[in-house]
Amino acid sequence: MLQWFEAAMPVAETELNYDTPFHLLVAVILSAQCTDKRVNLVTPALFEAYPTPAEMAVASPDDIYQYIKSVSYPNNKARSLAGMARKLVDDFAGEVPADIDSLMSLPGVGRKTANVILAVVYDRAAMAVDTHVFRVSERIGLTTGSRTPLATEKALMKYIPAEIVPKAHHWLILHGRYVCKARRPDCLNCGLTTLCRYYTNNNGSSSGAV
């Protein structure tokens, strides 16, 4: 499977638009339960208003809300962004930290978001498990019986070579987003059918989802 992904998606990267580690952190926080497309619509003006943590740190949640009100849960995310920026300034000299514990100490940052930053910004062997990664890994057979994102993360980290973990994260996200969709996987246009557990178990049928 990893060989197929390497051949099919030699370039695999985040679809969130950003120009600095801070702005990627902002975009990932905004992307929770929201599409990357929607986030990319609101971030240009947000990034222009708040180019660094210092500018965002002095903004109120109400100020930030005006830029992000079209994303999901804008009130909560505005509070998280304001708190995150203040903590970056107060505790990390305005720099996005490079270890998971420090990242997870920031408001609005859970394990998934922290792993995205580690993988994308710092090219660390960190597997961020979002809904796509969780679903696709179990469906195609990269994991077996993983009931939580953490269990999925540990299983994938055990078997995927560390040097390709950051790219593998994007392989699974993009495959889940465009081919192995939640409600109706597009098996007819998937190159993994000879290896895929779901396809084998359903005799090639793409009706339903796991």
Which positions are annotated as active-site residues? 112, 130
Neighbours of 28 (CB within 10 A): 25
Angle at 88 between CA 84 and CA 90, to 5 degrees: 115
CA angle, 188 as apex, 187 and 194 as ends, to 5°? 65
* 66 Cβ contact list (under 8 Å, min separation 6): none
Contacts 24+ apart (CB under 8 A), 152-155: 153/111, 153/115, 153/127, 153/129
User: What is the Cβ-side half-sphere exposure of residue 118, based on CA atoms within 13 angstroms?
Assistant: 23
Instruction: Say how far apart CA 180 and CA 197 lie, in whole Å.
Output: 12
40's tokens: 């990319």
- Whether 130 and 122 have beta carbons less than 8 Å apart is answered as no
